[in-house]
């Protein structure tokens, strides 16, 4: 089964039961899903800073058990540097660079609702429903 990487906002839509989650179902059906270690960290920060209940954390944990988490290695660090260099005239946030580099290093498409964050990154395929 092919894999697609989901950005933090896509996971957020699903966990919060946001109506936008429905718009992305067609892009996720039939794919194994993955997240970057950066998305994992952002999700944990979101739960901690928002004071989530144990029940709400359990929903997030269940979702995370259903996806692959891509962790950092030397190749990913090189890809991150390439992404940052490619976007030197249009700076990219550190966290978004990690997410983009993760997709590139693993040869997968990135599903996001923030396509502008990932514009002009050579080789990165972005899938979005954002206007």
Number of domains present in the structure of the chain: 1
pLDDT recorded at residue 29 = 97
pLDDT recorded at residue 111 = 98
Domain span holding position 63: 3-127
Which residue stretches of 8-73 are H helix?
Answer: 8-16, 20-28, 37-50, 54-65
Q: What is the CATH number of the domain that holds 80?
A: 3.40.50.1010
Angle at which helices 37-50 and 8-16 cross, to 10°: 40
pLDDT tens per residue across span 117-131: 999 999 999 999 998
Tell me the pLDDT band of 5, cut-offs 50, 70 and 90: very high
Tell me the pLDDT band of 26, cut-offs 50, 70 and 90: very high
């Amino acid at each position: 089964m092919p894999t697609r990487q989901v950005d933090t906002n896509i996971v957020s839509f699903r966990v919060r039961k946001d109506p936008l989650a429905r718009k992305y179902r067609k892009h996720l059906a039939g794919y194994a899903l993955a997240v970057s270690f950066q998305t994992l960290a952002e999700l944990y920060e979101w739960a901690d800073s928002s004071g989530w209940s144990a029940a709400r954390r359990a929903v997030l944990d269940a979702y995370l058990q259903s996806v692959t988490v891509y962790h950092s290695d030397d190749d990913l660090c090189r890809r991150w540097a390439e992404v940052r260099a490619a976007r030197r005239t249009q700076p990219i946030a550190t966290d978004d660079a990690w997410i983009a580099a993760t997709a590139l290093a693993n040869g997968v498409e990135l599903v996001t609702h923030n396509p502008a964050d990932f514009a002009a990154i050579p080789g990165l395929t972005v899938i979005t429903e954002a206007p």
